[in-house]
């Protein structure tokens, strides 16, 4: 697919009805069986960048395993950053922490209005048990960072809408559908938080309309917040690390501590990780061991047989990134520093891994192995991947079952 910017979007436009089909190779595995009750897991099916950095009215379709490609400057990393920002807002993070440099996301040619205001727009579509849901967000970056408009739509019906009525106040006016004696309800919401994430705390769900609004809001929040941004940094993975709880960080700098945990607690997954390492690392790999020096740290090593091993720090950058991403795919949220919705059963959630530079530093063999592993894991339905890759890797991905490739244009 080619996603083509088509000009400026009006504030909080209605959802677009036409989306170009991406390049997809069907997965060889059958689709996952829905959890008991027939309800599907909430998942983000589209990323909508109405006016966000280099993107204008771009719609990016997302499948179980989606890779973004395109020329330098086409906005691959920017699109991933937009997804991550929505995930953080859905988790309740304040706007200033999600966008510490908000002006960086305002389109370069975007002029200010008479009051000197400039901003950006982004959103997403979410599929799940509540049906198709669309979330759209308008953010003012200058002169004051604030959310000036938000819209939650379900099955073509506006369920929640907010607007900035008084620029002197740090609130927006929210209106949501009730279908009770009063058609809608109104209340002020803070202008630095996602109203969709706050709404479940404000509604009792006493009418049929409120129940629809709650179901749509909870579906969007569950789908978005179950995200893990992962960018393994080899330079931080080579040294000894303190023994901790064994939950992998986004940079994977505590890889040795996580291997200590998986070796002890997840024997089957650890064995599969060893097999994956053997397929993609130089030389034979018969195990992934750890050493515990007396200073309370842990060191990892690649076992080469009965009497030979290589310290993890001696592996190449590509090998370390390959090993870290394979570990992410094989373990899932209980081993990652991610906080999915605790009130929702795990069977009703799908973790989305956001991997910028999915193939960075890796050779062709490692890339093929990681693509096959990712497609196999994502076919199960409990994990999804959105990554960015080079055009060379995209060519291989197009021939891999279960991978969707989206071409972006600058």
Cα–Cα distance for residue pair 300/290, rounded to 1 Å: 4
Query: Tell me, what's the pLDDT at 45?
Result: 96
- Whole-angstrom CA distances from 348 to 61, 83, 139, 379, 397 are 21, 20, 31, 16, 28
Mean pLDDT in consecutive groups of 10 residues from the start of the chain, 410 residues = 37 40 44 41 96 95 97 95 97 97 92 89 96 97 96 93 94 88 87 95 86 94 94 94 93 95 90 96 95 93 92 96 96 76 65 97 97 96 96 96 92
pTM across the whole model: 0.88
Task: In whole angstroms, give the CA distance from residue 409 to residue 388.
Answer: 13
Residue 15 and residue 134 in contact, taking contact as beta carbons nearer than 8 Å: yes
In whole angstroms, what is the distance from residue 180 CA to residue 185 CA? 10
The two tokens of residue 43 are: 């998942």
Sign of CA dihedral 106, 111, 117, 120: negative
3-state DSSP helix/strand/coil % of the chain, to nearest 5: 30, 30, 40
pLDDT at 334: 79
Residues present in the chain in total: 410
CA distances to 22, 63, 370 from 406, rounded to whole Å, are 6, 10, 18
Pairing of strands 297-303, 241-242: antiparallel
Whether the Cβ atoms of residue 410 and residue 56 lie closer than 8 Å to each other: no
Look at residue 378 in the predicted model and tell me its pLDDT: 95
Q: How high is the pLDDT of residue 341?
A: 59
pLDDT of res. 14: 41
> By the 8 A CB rule, do 290 and 262 touch?
no
φ and ψ at residue 309, rounded to 5 degrees: -155, 160
The DSSP bridge partners found for residue 68 are 388, 406
- Which uninterrupted H or E stretch holds 322? helix 317-331
Specify the pairing of strand 287-291 against strand 297-303. Answer: antiparallel
Spatial separation of the C-alpha atoms in residues 356 and 361, rounded to whole Å: 12
Residue-level pLDDT at 36: 37
pLDDT of residue 346: 61
Q: Which two tokens stand for residue 196?
A: 């969709």
Q: How many CB atoms lie within 10 A of CB 297?
A: 15
CB atoms within 10 A of CB 132: 17
Q: Is the backbone peptide bond immediately before 331 cis, with ω within 30 degrees of 0?
A: no
What 8-state DSSP symbol labels residue 289? E
Calpha distance 286→277 (Å, rounded): 9
User: Is the Cα dihedral 71, 410, 395, 65 positive or negative?
Assistant: positive
How far is the C-alpha of 234 from the C-alpha of 227, rounded, in Å? 22
């Amino acid at each position: 697919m080619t996603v083509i910017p088509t000009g400026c979007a009006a504030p909080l436009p209605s959802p677009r009805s036409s989306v170009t089909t991406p390049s997809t190779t069907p997965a060889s595995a059958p689709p996952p069986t829905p959890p008991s009750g027939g309800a599907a897991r909430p998942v983000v099916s589209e990323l909508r960048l109405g006016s966000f950095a280099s993107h204008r009215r771009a719609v990016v379709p997302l499948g179980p395993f989606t890779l973004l490609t395109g020329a330098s400057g086409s906005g691959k990393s920017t699109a991933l950053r937009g997804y991550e920002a929505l995930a953080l807002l859905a988790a309740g993070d304040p706007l200033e922490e999600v966008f510490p440099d908000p002006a960086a996301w305002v389109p370069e040619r975007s002029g200010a209005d008479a009051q000197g205001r400039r901003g950006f727009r982004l959103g997403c579509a979410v599929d799940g048990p509540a049906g198709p849901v669309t979330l759209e967000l308008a953010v003012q970056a200058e002169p004051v960072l604030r959310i000036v408009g938000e819209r939650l739509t379900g099955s073509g019906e506006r369920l929640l809408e907010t607007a900035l009525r008084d620029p002197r106040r740090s609130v927006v006016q929210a209106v949501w559908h009730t279908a009770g004696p009063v058609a809608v309800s109104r209340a002020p919401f803070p202008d630095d938080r996602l109203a969709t994430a706050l709404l479940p705390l404000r509604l009792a769900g006493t009418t049929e309309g409120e129940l629809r609004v709650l179901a749509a809001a909870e579906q969007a929040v569950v789908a978005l917040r179950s995200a893990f941004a992962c960018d393994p940094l080899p330079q931080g993975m080579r040294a000894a690390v303190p023994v901790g709880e064994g939950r992998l960080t986004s940079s994977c700098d505590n890889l040795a501590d996580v291997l200590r945990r998986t070796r002890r607690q997840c024997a089957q997954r650890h064995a599969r990780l060893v097999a994956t390492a053997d397929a993609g690392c130089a030389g034979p790999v018969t195990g992934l061991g750890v050493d515990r020096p007396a200073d309370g740290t842990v060191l990892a090593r690649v076992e080469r047989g009965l009497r030979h091993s290589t310290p993890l720090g001696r592996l190449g950058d590509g090998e370390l990134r390959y090993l870290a991403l394979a570990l992410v795919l094989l373990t899932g949220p209980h081993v990652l520093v991610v906080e999915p919705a605790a009130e929702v059963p795990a069977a009703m959630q799908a973790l989305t891994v956001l991997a910028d530079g999915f193939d960075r530093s890796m050779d062709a063999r490692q890339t093929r192995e990681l693509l096959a592993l990712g497609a196999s894991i994502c076919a199960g339905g409990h994990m999804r991947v959105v990554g960015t890759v080079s055009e060379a890797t995209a060519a291989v991905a197009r021939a891999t079952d279960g991978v969707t490739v989206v071409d972006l244009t600058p």
